[in-house]
């Protein structure tokens, strides 16, 4: 891996390294004065780091030398460091090449020694895999969600996910899974139909170290056949409006959980790609759905069919009521595709 290539690849490199250094939770020292050291110093200069200084391993070290305004100290001064301190070897060379340097430092100091590349794990994943896996929300997943702990969408108020078994339908890249995992559920079960999205979520799962997480490759409409656990909450965000049979998916949700979070597009005057309407007669009544184009397996952000059907908001309320659920909207916005709403459906009585 060429360090110079990575330094040019992303503007956010210093802030990323700064965030990784903060996670070490201790005083930091740098050994080395080349390109990697400059990158580390730029990150440290962003603030929030208890910086001990920069040290030179080169035997030709000259007292008084400075790097980016920081005085360079002799390697022997590392003996003053504590076991709780961390020494970062500022080099992009592989660990085997640095064998002698690492042992020299370990003979001088009891502080923890780490390689510069150890700070670049997520950054390297992003650089190597972002284009290969075609992440649409890489900036969020590799920065905002990971280091700033932001949420992708507002969480539903008055819904506790703690110690609950949560079923997430269509995690896509894992951007909402990140949000759910922070709520301390007993378990998250995610069902994703597309192998490429399954691969993305698998990577995010490992990177964020999700606990009690099960990822299933399968069709969300068939989740009752795929999930063995008793579900407390179903998180159905960004997927219902991609279905060609949304009533089937929603009915399954309402039959298998007492709380269902629904978030997505609904039929309205703001819809920009409507192809017409279709009336469907169901057990719960007659519904007029808005027909929308989908792009099948060619577009991993699309539904797998060629068209989808959108509920009207008032029909969602009526459908939920028929199955014994209260409908409480907690967010609404209009984007370039149309009206997007978020609601919590809570069981108030047994299904008739």
CATH assignment of the domain containing 333:
3.40.50.150
Of 62, 96, 121, which marks where a domain is finished?
A: 121
Nearest to 197 by CA among 211, 181, 218: 218
**CA-CA distance, 115 to 153, in Å (whole number)?**
36
Of 106, 121, 136, which marks where a domain is finished?
A: 121
Q: What is the pLDDT of residues 59-105, one digit of tens each?
A: 676 767 888 899 999 999 999 999 999 999 998 888 888 999 999 99
The total number of structural domains that make up the chain: 2
Q: Is residue 180 helix, strand or coil?
A: helix
Tell me the angle at which helices 313-322 and 246-256 cross, rounded to the nearest 10 degrees.
40
Of 97, 121, 145, which marks where a domain is finished?
A: 121
134-146 average pLDDT score: 86
Q: Is residue 62 helix, strand or coil?
A: coil
Same domain assignment for residues 173 and 90: no
Q: What is the pLDDT of residues 248-266, one digit of tens each?
A: 999 999 999 999 999 999 9
Please indicate, yes or no, if residue 143 is contained in any of the structural domains. Answer: no
pLDDT, position 227: 96
15 — pLDDT class (breaks 50, 70, 90) = confident
263-275 average pLDDT score: 96
Same domain assignment for residues 106 and 158: no
Same domain assignment for residues 116 and 164: no
Same domain assignment for residues 34 and 159: no
**CA-CA distance, 263 to 328, in Å (whole number)?**
12
Domain that holds residue 318: 154-347
9 — pLDDT class (breaks 50, 70, 90) = very low
Same domain assignment for residues 106 and 208: no
pLDDT, position 296: 81
CATH assignment of the domain containing 25:
3.40.50.720
Please indicate, yes or no, if residue 62 is contained in any of the structural domains. Answer: yes
Strands 233-237 and 165-169: parallel
**CA-CA distance, 82 to 85, in Å (whole number)?**
5
Please indicate, yes or no, if residue 114 is contained in any of the structural domains. Answer: yes
Q: What residue spans of 57-194 are helical by DSSP H?
A: 99-108, 121-133, 138-139, 175-181
Same domain assignment for residues 180 and 63: no
Most confidently modeled range among 12-26, 147-161, 239-253: 239-253
Same domain assignment for residues 103 and 183: no
């Amino acid at each position: 891996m060429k360090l110079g290539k990575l330094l040019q690849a992303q503007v956010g490199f210093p802030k990323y390294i700064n965030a990784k250094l903060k996670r070490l939770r201790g005083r930091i020292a740098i050994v080395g004065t080349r390109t990697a050291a400059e990158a580390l110093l730029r990150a440290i200069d962003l603030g929030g780091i208890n910086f001990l200084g920069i040290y030179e391993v080169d035997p030709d070290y000259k007292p008084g030398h400075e790097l980016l305004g920081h005085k360079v100290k002799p390697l022997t001064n590392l003996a003053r460091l504590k076991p709780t301190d961390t020494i970062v070897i500022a080099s992009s060379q592989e660990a085997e090449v640095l064998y002698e340097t690492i042992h020299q430092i370990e003979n001088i100091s009891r502080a923890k020694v780490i390689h510069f590349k150890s700070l670049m794990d997520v950054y390297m994943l992003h650089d190597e895999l972002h284009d290969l896996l075609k992440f649409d929300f890489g900036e969020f997943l590799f920065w905002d969600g990971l280091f700033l702990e932001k949420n992708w969408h507002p969480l539903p108020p008055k819904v506790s996910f703690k110690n609950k078994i949560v079923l997430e339908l269509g995690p896509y890249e894992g951007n909402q899974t990140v949000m759910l995992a922070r709520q301390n559920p007993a378990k998250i079960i995610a069902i994703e139909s597309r192998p490429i999205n399954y691969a993305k979520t698998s990577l995010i799962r490992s990177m964020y170290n999700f606990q009690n997480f099960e990822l299933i490759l399968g069709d969300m409409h068939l989740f009752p056949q795929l999930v063995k656990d008793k579900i407390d909450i179903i998180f159905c965000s960004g997927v219902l409006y991609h279905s060609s049979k949304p009533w089937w998916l929603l009915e399954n949700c309402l039959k298998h959980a007492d709380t269902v979070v629904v978030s997505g597009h609904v039929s309205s005057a703001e819809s920009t790609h409507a192809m017409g309407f279709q009336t469907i007669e169901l057990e719960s009544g007659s519904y007029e759905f808005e027909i929308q184009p989908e792009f099948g397996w060619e577009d991993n952000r699309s539904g797998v069919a060629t068209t989808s059907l959108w509920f009207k908001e008032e029909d969602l309320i009526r459908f939920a009521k028929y199955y014994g659920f209260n409908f409480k909207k907690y967010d609404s916005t209009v984007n370039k595709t149309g009206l997007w709403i978020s609601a919590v459906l809570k069981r108030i009585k047994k299904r008739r």
